[in-house]
Structures are given as structure tokens and as C-alpha cells.
């Protein structure tokens, strides 16, 4: 709450929440527990900061004991068994007051599954920000360490996208738009500026880009060695993402940037 209130006072008007549960299991049940970390945080934020736009990431990776983004069948992620659980999580977050739910598990038809679940729960007004093109990347490592969500075996390349295949990424963006996404996300940001530019040409929906933990850590580490000016590097990186076509930028620098410039940063 202190972090959110400080950021809000400085002009940051939206947050994206991830949860670290007290316990993890094979089904990731804490992800859709109405008393879990994310619904609890949403209720607290909406009580204290009703004008804050609260977005909630929808995935199972932080909640499963094996660290994968879905439930397993015969040692592999089961796409279709995962979809109803993602829907339950979205309903739990919307019921707690989330303005936006953001499916990031990269399960096929995850947007349609959330749309159905929200409709059935009477939460049709909750927006869906789809991680439509989420590439397998080494740049997620700092987040996975912080959240304890690294896979206990294998990797996520069977459901996250091959960064060499831009045509598939554009197809995934189209499919999520057709399934009812209100906004589309590309992740990570800087390695995908070409894709952002192509997506901007093709889509009228709001386009988001996620400057991920590894991108943040690289700038921080470089600046800590005195090899660059941190403020200038942050500004250059965010400008490049915006210039490529992003309407929304998810970045760990938001609070720092708001403090630095002394004016509102959304």
C-alpha cells in the first residue's frame, strides 16, 4: 500500500499485480482463491485508492509447485485443463475489484476462456489485456527468481513463442483480438520493437509492451558500474518502445521515473 500510494501521489495511475502465495500446489489453487494474495491486494488498493486502475496478471506459474504456467498431464502442460482455472482466477480478481485482467500463460484460447468466465460471473465490464505475443526469453530470469516461479523441470518453450517467428506472433495477436481482447501485449519490449511496429500498423486496439525484469536489471547493473547514466538510459529505452508503437508500457521504472520527472507518468 505504501508503494502504491507513493506512486499514485506522483502521478502513476495504474499498477499490474502478481502474487506470491503462502503455499503452492500442482493445480495452482492459490491463484483463484478469493482470499489469496492478489484479490486481497486488489480489495485493499481499491479501498484506499479508488481511482487507481488495478490490473491483475492471470497465470498459474507463481502458484504451481512445478513452476509451469498450467496444470500438467503426463508431464506436459495441459492447455485445455488449464483454461477453466485461468477463468476462475480472472473471476476472483474481477470480483475483488480489478479493472483489468491480463492473461499471460500463453495457453491457446485463453482470451476466449476469460471472456466466457467473466460473462458467466456477470463481470462483462472487466477489461482483458492479452499477453498475445509473449516470447520465450532469458530476460525473465530476475522476475522468476523474485517470484520463485522458475520451472522445476524443462522450460516454457512449448507454449511461449519462438522469438525467431514473427509471423506466428502476428497471427497470435490477430487471434486474441478476434477472441475479444480489449488490448494486446508484446513481451519482452526492446527485443521486439520490430514486432511492435508491425502490430501497430495492423491493429487499432491499444498496444502494450512489457519492459521485463531483465531489461530493467541490465540498465540498473550498467548504471551501477558507472557505464551509463541511468536516467538517460531509462528515457531512451522507454522512448524507443513508445516510438515503435506502444500505447501502454509496463515497466519497473514507473515509480522511479515519476519521482525523477516530478510529474504524472501513467
Cell match 482470451: residue? 111
Q: Let me know if residue 117 belongs to a domain.
A: yes
The counts of H helices and E strands in the chain are 10, 9
Q: Let me know if residue 146 belongs to a domain.
A: yes
156 or 247: whose pLDDT is higher? 247
Q: Is residue 224 packed enough to be buried (19+ CB in 10 Å), middle (13-18) or exposed (0-12)?
A: exposed
Q: Let me know if residue 119 belongs to a domain.
A: yes
CATH number of the domain at 131, please.
3.20.20.70
Number of compact structural domains in the chain:
1
* Domain range enclosing 232: 2-260
Q: Tell me the longest C-alpha to C-alpha distance in the chain.
A: 54
Helix, strand, or coil (residue 251):
strand
pLDDT in tens, 203-240: 999 999 999 999 999 999 999 999 999 999 999 999 99
Q: Let me know if residue 247 belongs to a domain.
A: yes
pLDDT in tens, 76-100: 999 999 999 999 999 999 999 999 9
Q: Let me know if residue 266 belongs to a domain.
A: no
The count of other CB atoms within 10 Å of the CB of residue 218 is 15
State the pLDDT at residue 265: 45
pLDDT in tens, 147-181: 877 777 767 777 788 889 999 999 999 999 999 99
Is the pLDDT confidence value at 263 over 70? no
The count of other CB atoms within 10 Å of the CB of residue 19 is 21
Over range 17-42, report the average pLDDT: 94
Give the β-pairing of 248-251 and 207-211. parallel
Q: Let me know if residue 226 belongs to a domain.
A: yes
Distance CA 29, CA 263 (A): 40
Q: Let me know if residue 138 belongs to a domain.
A: yes
Distance CA 129, CA 224 (A): 34
Catalytic residues: 134, 187
∠ Cα 110 113 117 (to 5°) = 140
Mean of all residue pLDDT scores within the chain: 93
Distance CA 152, CA 120 (A): 34
Q: Let me know if residue 185 belongs to a domain.
A: yes
Amino acid at each position: 500500500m505504501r508503494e502504491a500510494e507513493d506512486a499514485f501521489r506522483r502521478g502513476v495511475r495504474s499498477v499490474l499485480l502478481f502474487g506470491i502465495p503462502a503455499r503452492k500446489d500442482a493445480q495452482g489453487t492459490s491463484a483463484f482463491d478469493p482470499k489469496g494474495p492478489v484479490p486481497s491486494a486488489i480489495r485493499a488498493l481499491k479501498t484506499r485508492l479508488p481511482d487507481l486502475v488495478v490490473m491483475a496478471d492471470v497465470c498459474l506459474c507463481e502458484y504451481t509447485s512445478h513452476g509451469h504456467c498450467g496444470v500438467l498431464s503426463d508431464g506436459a502442460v495441459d492447455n485445455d485443463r488449464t483454461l477453466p482455472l485461468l477463468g476462475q482466477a480472472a473471476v476472483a480478481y474481477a470480483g475483488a475489484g480489478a479493472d483489468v485482467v491480463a492473461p499471460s500463460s500463453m495457453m491457446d484460447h485463453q482470451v476466449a476462456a476469460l471472456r466466457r468466465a467473466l460473462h458467466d460471473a456477470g463481470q462483462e465490464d472487466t477489461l482483458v489485456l492479452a499477453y498475445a505475443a509473449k516470447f520465450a526469453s532469458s530476460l525473465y530470469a530476475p522476475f522468476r527468481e523474485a517470484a520463485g516461479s522458475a520451472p522445476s523441470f524443462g522450460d516454457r518453450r512449448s507454449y511461449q513463442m519462438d522469438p525467431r517467428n514473427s509471423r506466428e506472433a502476428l497471427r497470435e495477436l490477430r487471434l486474441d483480438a478476434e477472441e475479444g481482447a480489449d488490448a494486446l501485449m508484446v513481451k519482452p519490449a526492446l527485443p521486439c520493437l520490430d514486432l511492435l511496429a508491425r502490430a501497430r500498423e495492423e491493429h487499432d486496439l491499444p498496444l502494450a509492451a512489457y519492459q521485463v525484469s531483465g531489461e530493467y536489471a541490465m540498465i540498473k547493473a550498467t548504471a551501477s558500474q558507472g557505464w551509463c547514466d541511468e536516467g538517460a538510459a531509462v528515457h531512451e529505452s522507454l522512448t524507443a518502445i513508445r516510438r515503435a508503437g506502444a500505447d501502454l508500457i509496463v515497466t519497473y521504472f514507473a515509480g522511479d521515473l515519476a519521482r525523477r520527472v516530478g510529474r504524472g507518468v501513467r
